[in-house]
Amino acid sequence: MICAPHPRDELVRLRVLESSGLLATDRDPFLDSLVVAVARSFELPMAAVSLIERDQQFFKASVGLPTRTTPRDCSFCAHVLWWPAPFVVPDATLDDRFANNPLVTGEPHIRFYAGVPISLQGVCLGTLCVMGHSPKSGLDDAEMRLLQGAAMAVEERLNQMTSPQPRERAERLDRAARRTV
């Protein structure tokens, strides 16, 4: 297993994450419904909004994952922080970075991973990702646009959750999310 290096802006990134208060907030109905919709759209059993802390990965929203956190050193999503761009692993068992990863060799038995960065205040804090138990050749252009578009919705929601502005729009999104679940 090869751990992801820390990005050059790691201290700034951690300050933005800590000051956002996102790690202290409850699960969000909009994000929960969004990850369910993303997993269904890709016909994959797992999807998550991950936030990468100093030592662990926290799932702000997830479907199909047995836990709300994992150690950062085995995080697929942490690799996106180094180079904030879409990151796809077609078969984790064939990738030296992940072949011995406990998330591959044990629960949840990840084989396929695709993640796109999510940012707040221009700093990459984590990803929106989809995962599967079987290898997949990758994402076609339409699938990548779908995942990136969903990541933009995640970023908008995170901005609303951290904004001191009135939360009327966030409350409307909550009501809409409850109707779709």
Q: What is the pLDDT of residues 108-156, one digit of tens each?
A: 999 999 999 999 989 999 999 999 999 999 999 999 999 999 999 999 9
Q: Give the pLDDT score at 125.
A: 96
Q: Is residue 167 part of a domain?
A: yes
pLDDT digits (tens, 9 = 90+) for 20-61: 999 988 889 999 999 999 999 999 999 999 999 999 999 999
Q: Is 139 exposed, middle or buried (0-12, 13-18, 19+ CB in 10 A)?
A: buried
Q: Give the pLDDT score at 172.
A: 57
Looking up tokens 């150690």 gives 71
Q: Is residue 65 part of a domain?
A: yes
Which has the higher per-residue pLDDT, 1 or 25?
A: 25
* pLDDT band (50, 70, 90) for residue 167: very low
> Do the beta carbons of residue 51 and residue 125 sit within 8 Å?
yes
DSSP for the chain reads --PPPPPTTHHHHHHHHHHHTGGGSPP-HHHHHHHHHHHHHHT-SEEEEEEE-SSEEEEEEEES-S-SEEEGGG-STHHHHHS-S-EEES-GGG-TTTTT-HHHHSTT---EEEEEEEEETTEEEEEEEEEESS------HHHHHHHHHHHHHHHHHHHHHH-SS--HHHHHHHHHHHHH-
Supply 47's token pair.
């999807």
Q: Is residue 45 part of a domain?
A: yes
Q: Give the pLDDT score at 166.
A: 39
Q: Is residue 82 part of a domain?
A: yes
What's the pTM? 0.87
Full domain range(s) for residue 128: 10-180
pLDDT digits (tens, 9 = 90+) for 67-110: 999 999 999 999 998 787 999 999 999 999 999 999 999 999 99
Looking up tokens 């909004």 gives 49
Q: Give the pLDDT score at 180.
A: 59
Q: Give the pLDDT score at 133.
A: 97
Q: Give the pLDDT score at 8.
A: 80
Whichever domain contains 79, its CATH number is: 3.30.450.40
Q: Give the pLDDT score at 178.
A: 66
* pLDDT band (50, 70, 90) for residue 176: low
Domain total of the chain: 1
Q: Is residue 5 part of a domain?
A: no
